Amino acid sequence: MDNQRLFYPYPKVDVKQVLIKQGQVVVEDIPAPQVEPGTLLVRVKFSSISAGTEMSGLKSAAEPLWKRALKNPKAVKSTMEMAATRGLTHTRNVIQGKLSEGNPTGYSASGIVLEVGDGIENIQPGDRVACAGAQCAHHAEIIRVPRNLAVPLPKDLSLPVASTVTLGAIALQGVRRAQPTLGETFAVIGLGILGQLTVQMLRANGCRVIGADLDSSRIELAKSLGMDFSLPPEENNEHTLRLTDGTGVDGVIITAASPSDEVISNAFRMCRKKGRVVLVGDVGLHLKREDMFPKELDFFISTSYGPGRYDPQYEEKGLDYPIGYVRWTENRNMAEYLNLISEEKIDVEPLIHSSFEISQAATAYETLKKDKEKPMIVLLSYPESPEDAKPKRVIPNPTARASDSDKINIALAGAGGFIKGMHIPNLQALSRRYQIHAVASRTGSNASNTARQVGAQYCTTDYQEVLNDPKVDVVLIGTRHNQHASMALEALQAGKHVLVEKPLALTRNELETIRSFYETHQQAPVLLTGFNRRFSPCARRAKELIENRTNPMIINYRMNAGYIPLGHWVHTEEGGGRNLGEACHIYDLFTFFTESKVVSVQSQSLVPKTDHYSCQDNFTATLGFEDGSVATLTYTALGSNEFPKEQMEIFSDGKVLMLDDYKQLRIHGSNARGLTSKLTDKGHKGELEAFAQTLDKGGVWPIPLWQQLQATEIALQIEELIYSKEV
């Protein structure tokens, strides 16, 4: 690639980010994110390192793979299933790719707004904000943050102090769960940063506070910030009774981190009758009935920053909870914490130990590993940039493989789990025909990690960079479904061949734009929708056996699809639902076998009795074709995952062809040879091979355009029928 394309005519600045790689802290250049609707682009000035959560993650990342596997049996099961269906080599390559990735870290930051996405009116570029969220508020020079995870700063509040906003919101939510009232006595177990903030918040509520910690220096610090009493570790319960006239405390807030179950037992024993215990930290949870039952105690869990946390509709989509029904959301908790500091009801300055520039991130983390006198808060600071500087959105890969002009240059647009787990291993296996030239992803660290893994020439967060690169031959689109049609059309208009994962389109208008493009462009690039099943060995063999049939066929296809929770993106406007997003595979397969135009489309769906299922989860589709064949799909989420996912019978000219999960094709009524394999092969690699052959030699497309359009049109018609019958 011409190096001049990697730079702009105006000043450009690197965007650095802290990543955790196999237990090590590294700082790398990444392409800056782009603003999106409902989000802010923020130039970070300070970010706060969490001595608890982040150090725990760093320690976990350094553990041997077998230790991590023991802690995550679901991942082990998933790996075993991958090995059984796709083979050991494929599985090993996927695991090695994941292990080599660097994971973003950090979840509390402050900075200056650079850009504001559509739909945000109450924050402007230049505003000072504090940001939260492990999915976005990373230790990076530029971050993209959803509106509900950012709050404007009070006028007089400093950026270093504001960068602790997430820690403050966590502590504040724990206090809210305890519901303290004026004059009550509370105990705080664990006087780390969350404990220190909790002590001050309880004092601001008019409570007396007793604190407990094994570290005497933390006890002294808490006393200097308003804590009334401390507890000797060896006699917590007796001393608590002496301090509360023999009744016990009104409540306990646990902010400690310990695997011991004794922490929570002690908390229960310290309480008066009808008292309450709130868990903010991470401790052993083998509860004892005798600790709770005699006093009729209440036990509460405090979930991170407050209501809205872990709700994608709130955090990512920006749907706020009405204040009349949910007074304190995570965003309102963040804002109130900053107000408490501004009003001098909480003092954070004594808790900040030191600040390091981002280039010294490894040293900053080492500071938090001290066995004695562990810092409460360590900050990372970020260098000033020229006012007219623009962040880089294209980063060359220093470990790029040598480019080969005889190979097909492919750019990955999207680098999610499916691209990494399926397409990248297959492209690497076909390295004599393909080379991955570029990686584009909305997340800079993911783009950078993936580019290094595959040896691409560069990575970017700007899709246009790929389209403007004359060396890119093919764009492989693997983003969320609602972006497929528009991104495919842009690539085609830029003269790039396109392999777009299914579905090709989610609306009729999108489909018509693709159709219209080819009607007006005679020498247009090749388009291949990822209908991979027709390229599987079993499907190809079945096609050979019915090629010379004399009569129409009957095809029955059963997809035991499995349940996906309704909150999953597949069911949202991003995914389009399971008919458009997955069943389209089978409509293409029917078209492949019949090579005929569809003439009738019928559908019947189950109307769920409960909200557990969607109307798209369980339906039948019956298609009539111009050649007289009839094909029926039964698609269901009602079945068991112990039963094969996909089965098919083709009835044709005295023969029955039976497909079993793309591992076996059995033939009845003929001496013709079937197929049997130990591994599931749904045609993903065959799809790439067929695409390469077309691009190398020209001629027939892997899937004729009319068949790609027909499969999508069938899915759109089924969609209309499903929803019309539901109404």
How do residues 532-553 score in pLDDT, each as one tens digit?
999 999 999 999 999 999 999 9
pLDDT exceeds cutoff 50 at 10: no
Does the pLDDT at position 57 exceed 90?
no
Mean pLDDT score across all residues of the chain: 91
Alpha carbons 362 and 161: distance in angstroms, whole number? 22
Output the pLDDT for position 384. Answer: 86
Whether the pLDDT of residue 206 is over 60: the answer is yes
pTM of the model: 0.88
pLDDT of the residue at 6: 37
Quick one: tokens of 255?
A: 């902010």
For the cut 70, the answer to whether the pLDDT of residue 198 exceeds it is yes
What is the average pLDDT across 508-516?
97
Residue 13 β-bridge partners: 391
Residues in the chain: 727
Give the residue, 522 or 499, on which the prediction is more confident. Answer: 499
Helix locations, 45-131, DSSP H: 53-61, 65-71, 73-86, 88-100
Decide: 255 and 277 in contact? Cβ < 8 Å.
Answer: no
Note the pLDDT of residue 609.
86
DSSP letter assigned to residue 332? H
pLDDT for residue 101: 76
CA distance 400 to 525: 27
Is 87 exposed, middle or buried (CB count within 10 Å of its CB: 0-12, 13-18, 19+)? middle
Dihedral of CA atoms 545, 554, 718, 529 in degrees, nearest 10, equals 0
What is residue 237's predicted lDDT score, i.e. its pLDDT? 78
pLDDT for 70 beyond 70: no
In contact, 420 and 94? CB cutoff 8 Å: yes
The span from the CA of 434 to the CA of 631, in Å, is 36
CA-CA distance, 49 to 164, in Å (whole number)?
A: 9
* Position 21 pLDDT exceeds 60: yes
Taking the alpha carbons at both ends of the chain, their separation in whole angstroms is 54
Averaged pLDDT, 520-526: 92
Mean of the pLDDT values across residues 174-199?
97
Q: To 10 degrees, what angle do helices 193-204 and 165-178 make?
A: 50
Name the residue type at position 716: L
Q: Do domains 167-301 and 394-531 have the same CATH topology?
A: yes
Q: Does position 146 have pLDDT exceeding 90, yes or no?
A: yes
Q: Which of the pair, 303 or 635, is modelled with greater confidence?
A: 635
**DSSP at 322:** P
Q: Are 244 and 272 in contact (CB under 8 A)?
A: yes
Cα separation of 368 and 43, whole Å? 25
Which has the minimum average pLDDT: 123-127, 570-574, 605-609?
605-609
Pairing between β-strand 390-391 and β-strand 12-13 as defined by DSSP bridges: parallel
Average pLDDT, stretch 675-696? 95
Residue where the block lists tokens 């965003």: 331
List the CATH code of the domain at 3-161+312-381.
Answer: 3.90.180.10
Confidence bin at 369 (pLDDT 50/70/90): confident
Q: How far from the centroid of its chain's Cα atoms is residue 165's Cα?
A: 23
- CA 546 → CA 203, 551, 592, 646, distances in Å? 80, 10, 11, 20
| Mean pLDDT lowest among 237-241, 282-286, 317-321, 344-348 | 237-241
Over residues 225-245, mean pLDDT: 85
Digit-coded pLDDT (tens) for 656-683:
999 999 999 999 999 999 999 988 999 9
Looking at residue 387, its pLDDT comes to 64
Please report, rounded to a whole number, the percentage of residues in the chain having pLDDT higher than 90: 81
Segment 41-61 shows an average pLDDT of 80
Q: Which H or E run contains 356?
A: strand 352-357
Q: How far apart are CA 582 and CA 137, in angstroms?
A: 34
| Residue 142 burial (CB count, 10 A) | 26
CA 168 to chain centre: 25
Can you tell me the distance from the alpha carbon of 667 to that of 420, in angstroms, rounded to the nearest whole number?
35
**pLDDT value at residue 1:** 36
With vertex at residue 223, the alpha carbon angle to CA 222 and CA 224, rounded to the nearest 5 degrees, is: 90
Give me the mean pLDDT over the 10-39 stretch. Answer: 88
Q: How far apart are CA 45 and CA 161, in angstroms?
A: 11
Residue 370 has pLDDT above 90, yes or no: no
- Sorted by where each begins, the domain ranges of the chain are 3-161+312-381, 167-301, 394-531, 533-690+701-726
pLDDT category at 597 given cuts 50, 70, 90 is: very high
The reported pLDDT for the residue numbered 58 is 64
Topology of domain 533-690+701-726 in CATH is Dihydrodipicolinate Reductase; domain 2 (3.30.360)
Q: In sequence order, what are the beta bridge partners of 529?
A: 500
Task: State whether residue 494 is helix, strand or coil.
Answer: coil
How does residue 4 score in pLDDT terms, banded at 50, 70 and 90?
very low
Joined tokens for residue 514: 């693709």
What pLDDT was estimated at residue 98? 64
Question: Cα(7)–Cα(322) distance, rounded to whole angstroms?
Answer: 46
Other CB atoms within 10 A of residue 617 CB: 23
pLDDT the model gives residue 82? 66
Q: What is the pLDDT of residue 8?
A: 36
Predicted local confidence at residue 238, as pLDDT: 82
Q: Can you tell me which residue has the tokens 């003092």?
A: 347
Q: Which residues contact 261 (CB under 8 A, 6 or more apart)?
A: 283, 284, 285, 286, 287, 288
For the cut 80, the answer to whether the pLDDT of residue 93 exceeds it is no
CATH class of 167-301: alpha beta
Residue 95's pLDDT band (cuts 50, 70, 90): low
Mean pLDDT of the 215-244 span: 88
pLDDT of residue 100: 65
What class is the 394-531 domain?
A: alpha beta
| pLDDT band for position 342 (cuts 50, 70, 90) | very high
Ramachandran region, residue 306 (left: φ > 0; alpha: ψ -120 to 50; beta: rest): left
Q: Are 183 and 209 in contact (CB under 8 A)?
A: no
pLDDT tens-digit map of 241-260: 989 999 999 999 999 989 99
DSSP state letter for 350: G
pLDDT at 74: 67
Q: Does residue 630 contact residue 659 with C-beta atoms inside 8 Å? A: no
H or E element that contains 408: strand 408-413
Q: What is the CA radius of gyration of the chain?
A: 30
DSSP calls for 555-594: EEEEEE-----TTSGGGSTTT--HIIIIIHHHHHHHHHHH
CA distance 427 to 437: 12
CA distance 494 to 481: 21
**Alpha-carbon distance 329 to 306, whole Å?**
6
| pLDDT at residue 56, rounded to an integer | 67
pLDDT at residue 9 in the model: 40
Could you tell me how far CA 245 lies from the centroid of its own chain? Answer: 52
- What are the φ/ψ torsions at residue 529 (nearest 5 degrees)? -80, 145
pLDDT mean over 435-450: 96
367-373-374 Cα angle (round to 5): 45
- pLDDT beyond 50 at 598: yes
CA distances from residue 575 to 5, 433, 580 in whole angstroms, order as listed = 34, 32, 8
